Amino acid sequence: MTSAHTIDFIPNVGSFIEQGLVELDCDKEYLDSLARVIHREEYLPAQREPHCDKAPEDVKWSQIVERVMWSDPPEDFWAAKPAKTPLYKLTMRGEFSLVAHVISPNGFRTKVLYRKKNVNPNRAYRSISTLYRKWNESFAFFFCYECNRLVAGRNIFGVNVPLYRWIDDALCEDGHSRIEIRTDCICQSEPITQPYRAEYLDRVRHLSDGSFIVEKADSGFNLYVKQLSWAGPHSPVTRNNFLEHFPATIKPWEVRERIKFHRNEIEFVRTCKHCDSTKNVGHFYDKETCHGCASRLHGIVY
């Protein structure tokens, strides 16, 4: 009773579209804007591609990377054959809306993730960026590998709720659509946690939280903090400084808790004793003197 349309990994937004899992009802100019947002948020540098070697053979990530590198993507980027049961419907015309086809314990089959009426064409890019963010951070849902469907849950808070599956007409034994509990499905027999699995290309990019970055590693994930280094009168350097390593089974809420901890521990800004201005710590000559005051007091030119 599994779906005939197989999804080969936990997708990001670009690969949802690539696999025909999004029903599109959009003006072309808005699709082009969405492509630019995907290009900005989901582009992966070539040196990270070797991390894909454990993925299933039919994962075409290199093709996705090649396409989202385009500011104006090839026409066939939007031409994927639609799945019989798309996971989302995206509308971008006079009104923007993003609806997830998801199963919840009370039987609802759709959930509105984003809606904006009377979109100003001159500010549409900002609305599309917001829509993308809502889409990429929709942690109320899980993707079940056995069902190949979105199911309801709230694992980010560690709360387990009953999970249901929508049975398509063609898959229903008696020919009628209905809500059914699948006792033989992994989403029923085991708690759904959707960890960041190193062997799959799952959502990691959304964890780039300000100065904090989570990167895939061979045995899990590494947490870095982006910091400016400008200790002397030379060109500034921005470095990703390693903080800690996470196992591949770590949960999203656990990563966020660690980021929150480090954010409280690390000093990002500082107030200059001489001019009372607050600046990034990378712009300080020492703990009390900013670069501007160091130039004025000590003749150091940055």
Q: What is the pLDDT of residues 223-244, one digit of tens each?
A: 888 877 765 666 667 778 899 9
CB-side neighbour CA atoms (13 Å) of 54: 13
**Domain end among 189, 223, 253:** 189
pLDDT score, position 255: 78
Residue 7 lies in a domain: no
Residue 111 has pLDDT above 70, yes or no: yes
Are residues 213 and 178 part of one domain? no
Residue 276 has pLDDT above 90, yes or no: no
Are residues 179 and 215 part of one domain? no
d(CA 128, CA 34): 6
Are residues 259 and 285 part of one domain? yes
Q: Lowest mean pLDDT: which of 114-123, 157-166, 217-226? A: 157-166
Overall average pLDDT of the 202-215 stretch: 56
Residue 175 lies in a domain: yes
- Please, which residues have CB within 8 angstroms of residue 283's CB and are 6 or more apart in sequence? 228, 230, 290, 291
Residue 104 lies in a domain: yes
Are residues 168 and 77 part of one domain? yes
Q: Lowest mean pLDDT: which of 86-100, 120-134, 239-253? A: 239-253
pLDDT score, position 91: 93
**Domain end among 128, 163, 189:** 189
Residue 115 lies in a domain: yes
Are residues 278 and 152 part of one domain? no
Residue 63 has pLDDT above 70, yes or no: no
**250 is in which domain, residue-wise?**
205-298
Are residues 155 and 89 part of one domain? yes
Residue 4 lies in a domain: no
Residue 197 lies in a domain: no
Tell me the pLDDT tens digit for each residue of 126-163. 999 999 888 876 655 665 555 556 665 543 233 333 33
Are residues 87 and 50 part of one domain? yes
Residue 161 lies in a domain: yes
Number of domains comprising the chain: 2
Are residues 82 and 168 part of one domain? yes
Are residues 156 and 76 part of one domain? yes
The structure tokens listed for 81 are 């054959």
pLDDT score, position 146: 54
pLDDT score, position 165: 36
Percent pLDDT > 90 in the chain is 8
Q: Considering Cα of 68, then 69, then 73, then 74, what sign does the dihedral take?
A: negative
Are residues 57 and 184 part of one domain? yes
pLDDT score, position 127: 93
**Domain end among 164, 189, 214:** 189
Render 190-257 in DSSP notation, one character per residue.
S-------TTS--S-GGG-BTTEEEEEETTEEEEEEEEEE--SSS--EEEEEEEEEEETT--HHHHHH
pTM: 0.46
Are residues 277 and 131 part of one domain? no
Residue 284 lies in a domain: yes
Are residues 212 and 185 part of one domain? no
Q: Lowest mean pLDDT: which of 85-94, 112-121, 135-144, 227-236? A: 135-144
Q: Is 122 left (phi over 0), alpha (psi -120 to 50) or beta?
A: alpha
